[in-house]
């Protein structure tokens, strides 16, 4: 029986296409599952260590000193955001895109230019802040001589903190979630630096030593510096630096210009997440700052359940540049569902005995933070349900839209915080923060729909259907084998 050669070629092409599609699907699934395990493991370890650090510091120093440390830490986080110039997100996106096109030279050029710019900005801001701005904030804004004296130690932490967080995002752009989890994703920078800090503080606690805010900040700076040097060495093995002019990739100024809208949006988000403790420090005592800070540290545990954002960020850039928007929406809604459902369970668990949990972790003084804990946790759970909308705006080139959304959320948070804190204290501030986070997330969700034509919110029904089809396919393939 004669065989048509054209038909054979077409059939072979069809089989090859199906095989490639299955291979891409398996590759994406492997990245999400494997990366999710590493990211979740890193988040769990980092959050547990970070919570342990705060709990040990609460026993090593009076509440007023802990309040000073938390205020200084929030200032360091804000200054490190400015020092990063939005380049960690630009670097993540461009490195992922260049490596997706197998252009390692351009990826390396982007990575090391971004790191050099962040390091330089961190040194300049740290030097100026430690000498001039820090003492002014301590004396004039917060009315605390102890905070003013601690600010030079905080400035020493700043540059390394900014570089370490940039390293983590560059590793994420390389799709190396293991190293990204090791050097970023926790309150104190990364699992490695958090572990070093926890070991040092734990040793001081075991020996019955006492600490003040200044010494705790210096210890934090030393731990971050050691982790940052190791991270730079590992990145050099992945993307070897070259001091010759790079033939591809954006130059210094175009790179910074790309980062500026993202910097503005990140500052807006940072103000929503960090300015709460500044506002409280302006109107209330340092002990109440410690109370609010302890509750917010517990709420950070809910961020573990949004770990899927750490895995999907490079995939968002890759799928968007290939115009695979239907696949992108499926990915985003699946990951939002994975984050939202356990987050709601955790919220119910926290609601059972919030005061007892705070007493167990930090001591009897912190029991009164239970209402603060519940309000902040409710806002965080809502953010998880809406999904990765801000990430999508950043990773799809809509930085200006993301900036506008962030500025709106910032304005809402500042207005609410300044209006409610003087009259209602920490609980009023918590309500303002939770409301601003919810409003900002809704705005980003609607903008993603308008700009990209996709939704990001959790969809349990769709996720269950996809999971059922996946399990059915696996079962059928097992029977066929």
2 — pLDDT class (breaks 50, 70, 90) = very low
pLDDT at 478: 55
- Predicted pLDDT of residue 38: 59
Phi, psi of 456 (to 5 degrees): -120, -5
Distance CA 472, CA 276 (A): 48
Lowest mean pLDDT among 274-288, 357-371, 432-446: 274-288
End-to-end Cα distance, the chain:
31
Domain shared by 191 and 297, yes or no: no
- Of 179, 214, 240, the position where a domain reaches its end is 240
Q: In this structure, are 304 and 202 located in the same domain? A: no
pLDDT of 249? 58
CB 177 within 8 A of CB 238: no
29 contact partners, CB below 8 Å, separation of at least 6: none
**Token pair belonging to 114:** 């971004």
- In this predicted structure, the answer to whether residue 410 has a pLDDT above a threshold of 50 is yes
The reply to whether 103 and 192 lie within a common domain is yes
Cα angle for residues 32, 35, 41 (degrees, 5° grid): 130
* Alpha carbons 196 and 158: distance in angstroms, whole number: 17
Query: What pTM was estimated for this model as a whole?
Result: 0.61
**In this predicted model, what pLDDT tens digit does every residue of 383-402 receive, in sequence order?**
888 887 887 887 777 777 88
Mean pLDDT, all residues of the chain:
77
96 lies in which domain range?
Answer: 30-38+45-240
DSSP state of 363: -
Residues 228 and 365 occupy one common structural domain? no
| 312 compared with 442, residue with greater pLDDT | 442
Give the model's pLDDT for residue 18: 41
Residue 15 domain-assigned? Answer: no
Alpha helical stretches, state H, 207-251: 213-238
Co-location of 224 and 313 in the same domain: no
Number of domains in the chain: 2
At 392 the pLDDT is 83
Is 10 a member of any domain?
no
- pLDDT for the residue numbered 431: 92
Residues found in the chain: 481
Q: Which of 183, 207, 240 is the last residue of a domain?
A: 240
Of 290, 291, 265, 206, nearest to 405 (Cα)? 265
The pLDDT score that the predictor gives to residue 428 is: 92
pLDDT tens digits along 201-246: 888 887 777 788 888 888 888 888 888 899 889 888 888 876 555 5
pLDDT for 157-179, tens place per residue? 888 888 888 888 888 878 777 78
- Answer with the residue of higher pLDDT: 38 or 295: 295
For residue 263, tell me if it sits in a domain.
no
- Please name which of 351, 370, 219, 353 lies closest in space to residue 294, comparing C-alpha atoms: 370
The answer to whether position 146 is within a domain reads yes
Q: Please say whether the beta carbons of 248 and 109 come within 8 A.
A: yes
Question: What is the model's pLDDT at position 103?
Answer: 75
pLDDT of 79 over the 80 cut: yes
Report residue 167 as tokens.
Answer: 């390293």
Same domain? 59 vs 208:
yes
Among the listed residues 290, 282, 278, 286, the one whose alpha carbon sits nearest the alpha carbon of residue 77: 278
Residues 194 and 307 in one domain: no
DSSP string, 135-158: HHIIIIIS--HHHHHHHHHHHHHH
Contact predicate 129/151, CB 8 Å: yes
Reply yes or no on whether the pLDDT at 53 is more than 50: yes
Across the range 284-289, mean pLDDT stands at 82
Q: Which of 300, 64, 67 is nearest to 185 (CA)?
A: 300
In a domain, 456, yes or no: yes
Q: Per-residue pLDDT for 24 more than 50? A: no
Residue 138: pLDDT band by 50, 70, 90 thresholds? confident
Do 233 and 100 have their domain in common?
Answer: yes
pLDDT of 341 > 80? The answer is no
Which range is least confidently modeled, 16-30, 316-330, 348-362, 436-450? 16-30
407 Cα distance to chain centroid:
18
- Buried-exposed string 291-301: b where 16+ CB fall within 10 A, e elsewhere: bbbbbbbbbbb
Does a structural domain hold residue 185?
yes
481 lies in a domain?
A: no
CB atoms under 10 Å from CB of 140, counted, come to 9
Mean pLDDT, residues 362-387 taken together: 86
Return d(Cα 216, Cα 214) in angstroms, integer: 5
Class of residue 259 by CB neighbours under 10 A (exposed 0-12, middle 13-18, buried 19+): buried
Q: Which of 15-24, 107-116, 289-298 has the lowest mean pLDDT?
A: 15-24
What's the pLDDT score for residue 117?
Answer: 87
The C-alpha atoms of residue 343 and residue 207 are separated, in whole angstroms, by 37
Give yes or no: residues 305 and 400 share one domain: yes
Domain-ending residue, one of 240, 261, 292: 240
pLDDT of residue 443: 92
Q: Residue 250 falls within a domain, yes or no? A: no
Instruction: Please tell me the least confidently modeled range out of 78-82, 182-186, 400-404, 446-450.
Output: 182-186
Residues 235, 365: one domain? no
d(CA 310, CA 315): 10
Same domain, 105 and 220: yes
pLDDT-above-70 percentage for the chain: 78
In this predicted structure, what is the pLDDT of residue 201? 84
Whether residue 376 is found in the same domain as residue 465: yes
> What is the pLDDT at residue 76?
84
Token reading at 241 = 């630096």
| 312-326, 361-375, 460-474: least confident range | 460-474
């Amino acid at each position: 029986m004669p065989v048509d050669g054209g038909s054979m070629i077409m059939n072979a092409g069809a089989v090859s296409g199906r095989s490639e599609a299955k291979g891409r699907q398996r590759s994406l699934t492997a990245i999400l599952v494997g990366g999710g395990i590493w990211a979740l493991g890193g988040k769990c370890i980092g959050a547990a260590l970070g919570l342990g650090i705060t709990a040990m510091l609460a026993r090593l120093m009076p509440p007023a000193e802990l309040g000073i440390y938390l205020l200084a830490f929030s200032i360091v986080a804000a200054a490190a955001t400015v020092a990063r110039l939005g380049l960690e997100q630009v670097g993540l996106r461009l490195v992922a895109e260049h490596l997706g096109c197998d252009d390692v030279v351009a990826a390396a050029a982007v990575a090391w230019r971004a790191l050099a710019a962040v390091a330089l900005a961190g040194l300049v801001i740290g030097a100026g802040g430690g000498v001039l701005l820090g003492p002014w904030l301590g004396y004039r804004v917060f009315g605390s001589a102890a905070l003013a004296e601690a600010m030079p130690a905080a400035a020493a932490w700043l540059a390394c903190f900014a570089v370490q967080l940039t390293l983590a995002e560059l590793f994420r752009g390389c799709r190396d979630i293991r190293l990204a989890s090791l050097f970023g994703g926790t309150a104190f920078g990364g699992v490695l630096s958090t572990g070093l800090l926890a070991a040092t503080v734990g040793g001081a606690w075991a020996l019955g030593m006492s600490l003040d805010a200044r010494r705790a900040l210096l210890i934090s700076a030393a731990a971050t510096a050691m982790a940052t040097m190791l991270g730079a060495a590992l990145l050099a093995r992945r993307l070897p630096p070259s001091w010759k002019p790079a033939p591809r990739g954006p130059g210094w100024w175009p790179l910074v210009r790309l980062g500026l809208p993202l910097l503005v949006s990140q500052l807006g988000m940072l103000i929503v997440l960090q300015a709460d403790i500044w506002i409280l420090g302006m109107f209330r005592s340092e002990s109440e700052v410690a109370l609010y800070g302890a509750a917010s540290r517990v709420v950070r545990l809910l961020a573990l359940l949004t770990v899927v954002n750490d895995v999907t960020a490079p995939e968002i850039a890759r799928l968007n540049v290939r115009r695979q928007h239907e696949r992108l929406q499926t990915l985003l809604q699946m990951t939002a569902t994975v984050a939202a459902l356990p987050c709601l369970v955790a919220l119910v668990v926290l609601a059972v005995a919030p005061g007892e949990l705070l007493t167990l972790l930090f001591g009897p003084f912190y029991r009164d933070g239970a209402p603060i804990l519940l309000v902040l946790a409710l806002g965080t759970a809502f953010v998880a349900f809406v999904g990765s909308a801000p990430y999508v705006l950043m990773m799809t080139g809509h930085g200006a839209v993301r900036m506008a959304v962030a500025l709106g959320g910032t304005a809402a948070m500042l207005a609410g915080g300044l209006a409610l804190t003087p009259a209602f204290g920490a609980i009023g501030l918590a309500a303002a923060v939770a409301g601003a986070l919810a409003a900002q997330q809704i705005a980003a969700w609607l903008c993603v729909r308008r700009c990209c034509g996709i939704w990001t919110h959790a969809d349990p029904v769709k996720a269950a259907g996809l999971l059922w089809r996946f399990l059915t396919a696996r079962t059928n393939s097992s029977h066929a084998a």
